Structures are given as C-alpha cells and as structure tokens.
Chain A
Amino acid sequence: MIWNEARECMSRDEMANMQGARLKKVVANVYHNVEFYRKKMQEIGLEPGDINGIEDITKLPFTTKSDLRDNYPFGLLAVPRSQIVRVHASSGTTGKATVVAYTRRDIEAWQECVARDLVMCGITKEDMIQVAYGYGLFTGGLGLHYGAENLGCMTVPMSTGNTKRLVTMMEDFGATAIACTPSYLLHIAEVIEEMGVKDKLKLKTAICGAEPWTEKMRLQIEEKLGINAHDIYGLSEVCGPGVACDCQFHKGLHVQEDHFFAEIVDKETLNPLPDGEVGELVFTTLTKEGLPLLRYRTKDLTSIDHSTCECGRTTPRISKFKGRSDDMLIIRGVNVFPSQVETALLEIDGVSPHYMMIVDRVNNLDTLEVQVEVDENVFSDEIREMENLTKKISAALQSALLIAVKVKLVEPRTLERFEGKSKHVIDKRVLVD
C-alpha cells in the first residue's frame, strides 16, 4: 500500500519540476521575510531571481545548527509569531536549545509524511499503535502521534517510563504496532519475555528511530519479537520523525522529497556528491512556512540512491547512517554533545574540565558515565563532601543533557591528554554490522 501514490511514485521529471517551483517560492520567501537569509544571499550576490529550478540549489548558502542557535529562539521565523501553532526543541551544542516552530500547514505536512511512512511499514487505519517516544519538546512523541491519527490508527500515547504497563496494555488492548527507539524496543522485548506474554500479543510492526542502529539490530528485533521492524528518520530542524523511512524491502530510507530536498555533499569541500558516495546529508525544506531552511547541514553521513525502488516508489533512498561529521552522540534518543558536558562542568566551582564520557548499552538501554578528574580544589578528607560533589556534578549534567548521568570521580591526570583535538568519548555500543 502507498499512502500518496501521486507524490511517492511521481516520475523523476515531474518531481524535479515540482521541487523547482517550490524552491523558487521558498527562496523568495526567506529572502523577503528572514533577515538572516537575505544577508547571507546578499553577501554572495544572489537574488531570488537567480533560482530557476531545483538544479540551482547548489548556488544557495548552507545553514548550520549554530545559525539556529545564534538566532535563538525565533530569529529565523518566516511568518509572524501569531501564525505559529507549535514549538519543539532539541539540545544545542552549548546549552542553548535548538528551537523549531510550525504553522498549522507545517503540522499538516508533517502528519502527511508520518502517515506515508507508517503505510510504508505496512500499517493501516485498522492498526492500533502505541507511541512510546517521549512526549514533549522532543519531536518523537507528538510527531508519531499525529501522523498515526492522521492515518486513522487507534493511537495510544504511552510515552516512555513504565515498560511493564506498556506491555500489559499491549496485551490487553491488542496493540498491533509500536513506535519507539530501537534500543527501547529491545528492552521492551526483554520485559515481554520476563512477563511471559509473547504468545498473547498481536504486535506485528515496529517503527523505530531517533537513534542510529544497524541492520543487524533490526533483524535481531524482528526475530526476537516475530514482527517487522522499520527505520524512520527525521530531525527536528527539518520537522521531526517522518523525513524518511524504509519500506518492506529495507534498501534505504525513502525521503519525502516533495517536502524535503536531500543532497549529499563532501563533508570537507561541501561539493555535491553523486549517488552512492558517502557524504553529509543536507536538507532544504520545500514547503515549510514557519521555519524554512536552505541547505541545512545535518552532519549525518550517508549516501543516496535515486533509482526506483522495488516497492514502486520513486522517492530517493538514503542508506543507513555511517556516522556523523561532528561529535554529536545520540543517547536514548537524545542528542548529546561533549561540549555540553564541558560547559556544565566548568560552571561548577573548582571542578576540572578534564572528563571522559563512557557510553555503553546495558540491557539494551544506553548508559552514560562521565568520569571527572578530582583536583585539589574539590578534594576533601570527608567522604560526605566527596559524595556531595558527585551528586552536584551529576545533577548539573542531568539538567544540561536531559538524560541520567552516572558520575565517577577519578584521580588527577589519569584521563588521557590529547594534543590538538581531544577525545572525550568512548562509545562502547556496538553499532557495526
């Protein structure tokens, strides 16, 4: 089944024409309504009239996460604030959140994309879906929720936190689908096993995203639960989950490119790369009203394939992610930058900025331990003082990163020192096939 065949199976020529027309509109819109883009375009002597088709996209300037931060919170809006109906936010690199805003039409377009993706996973309006992403500023919960409602599914807003209750309801309600992070689903699978209810469940589909996972892990989930598992991708800057998703053939994630134009560029030169070559994924929003973005650098590394898929869709497919071109980590679906840890530590009196982040996956849940060197300023002969210090650091990190952090105090000069670019992360999670 295909939700919107007219769009998802459009010929490449037609799609390019439509994208060209939409791009022209977007560029004229941001030029006239967003000072940041007008200045950027003027700096390189570019006018809206210079954009005549989608192929001219390479003339446009790039946008980065720091541009969003510099214009925090609403500096890049292209519409008056009265037209905004929703705001979401994700972590920024230095404490300030990245804020995104949606008009009513933006929300509708987002719901449309998520509905397409759900159908791509074999979900129909007859299904009952448990949405087990966090509800709130994070786009995961509400994004999947309204997409599922749009499709007409019976939608259960589970959010995260109480896995036993989730499994109980899965059994009692007869839920047939679930949306959550892949690591959380593996944890849910264990709880299902512990509760011994696997045979009583009607679950058949999982739609997982918000963190990188491998094909191996996808197959493991399918086997463990006897279901189909799909990969959904998105980022709040572009809209949230629903930007791309994989179909039953699992040969890359179909990008909803009538809404989001995807380019792959060389991460150093920023020159466009041909199909199949790995580079940084860049998105231009073609229909967004509230926060349109030109050539937004996602920092995600992948390749793209524009050939028609076996499923019949002509939308291009991006391969599973090969990593990132920056140091962002995704821990339990939350974006974490080492710089956030550093900033938080420096704000605590006397704590040295020497730290190491140990990311691991214990019982299928991501864990973060931050090792901090103790120095003379904070060292006490009293255990009580040392424990207070640990608590203080852990509370500061928790409030900065929005995830639970285990703090471990270590002796001075035991953490490795690096010349030049320091390494602050040891990621023990196995993400390689």
Chain B
Amino acid sequence: MYLKQLTVFLENREGRLDSVTDILAKNDINIVCLTLADTSEYGVIRMIVSDPDKAKSVLKAEGCLARLTDVLAVEMEQKAGSLNKITKIFSDENINIEYMYTLNSAKEAGSMILKCSDIEKGFEAVKKAGFKLVDPNVAYAL
C-alpha cells in the first residue's frame, strides 16, 4: 500500500551523485523517478527504484548513507485542478505534506508522490476521497 522511497545523503560536491547512480547501474537497479533536495553543503536524493531493498543494501555495502521511507503515490488526472483536489484532502485533515514530486509514467495519467506528517491518516483520507493509490509493484516496474 505504501511506496518505499530510497533516500540517500550526499555531500554537495563533484562526483557524489555520479557514484550513487553508478552503484545502482552496476546492480541493474532502475531509477523510476527522483527528486533532489539540496542545501549548500549537502543534498538529499529521493528516488523510486525498481528494487528498493536491494538498492539500499548495495548502497550501504559501498559506504553510502541510505534509508527507506514510506510514501504515498496518488494517481492523478492530467488536467487542471487535479493537484488541488489532493492537497485539499490533506489540508482538510490537518496533515502536513513534507514534500512531493511526480511519478513518471508513460500513461496519460500521472501520479503524485507525497511524504506527509501522518502516513496512515493520509492514506485513509486519500482512499476515502476516492483517489486511487499506485500499486507499489507497478510503480517499481515502471
């Protein structure tokens, strides 16, 4: 029901991002989508990958700081007001959205990945509002 997001800590300097993508490539792990939050000194890279558990363990073995975080992936129509419908649910339920980014898909409808302050509550709220959540296995295989 929840999507496992892979999060990696990176110092903000040359070659660090390359070393992470290199490890994933060598282990045949596909990056479905990613978003990078950066500060002047370090960055936090958040990814949906084809095999999150394996990705975490291979990164760890190479000395990277990686963790898995549960996030929601809500299906969304490709039209005006779709995102607003989702954010409204969270707002009405007093759930804070920590960050969000899009899950790419070849299909017409996109999906929004959300990290919120209370994932269980968020999950229930989204379902109650009639939104569909992306099946994790489908997402990893994108």
Contacts and interface: CB of A to CB of B under 8 A. Distances in A.
Interface in B88-135: 98-99, 115
A381 B5 CA distance: 9
B99 A411 contact: no
The SS class assigned to the A binding surface is: loop
B103 to A, nearest CB: 16
A194 B112 CA distance: 54
B11 A381 contact: no
B67 A381 contact: yes
A409 B13 CA distance: 13
A412 B7 contact: no
B9 A379 contact: yes
Interface in B56-96: 63-65, 67, 69
A382 B99 contact: yes
Given A376-B67, A411-B65, A383 B115 contact: no
B interface, how many residues as a size bin? 20 to 34
A110 to B, nearest CB: 45
Interface residues of A, number: 18
A383 B45 CA distance: 10
A108 to B, nearest CB: 52
B65 A379 contact: yes
Contacts of B44: 380-383, 386
Contact of B65 (A375, A382, A383, A387): A375
Nearest to B68: A381
Interface string A360-385: 00000000000000111001111110
A376 B98 contact: no
A412 B65 contact: yes
Interface of A: 374-376, 379-384, 386-387, 408-414
15 contacts: A379-B67, A381-B5, A381-B7, A381-B44, A381-B69, A382-B99, A382-B115, A386-B39, A386-B44, A387-B39, A410-B11, A411-B9, A411-B16, A411-B64, A411-B65
Interface of B: 5, 7, 9-11, 16, 37, 39, 41-42, 44, 46, 63-65, 67, 69, 98-99, 115
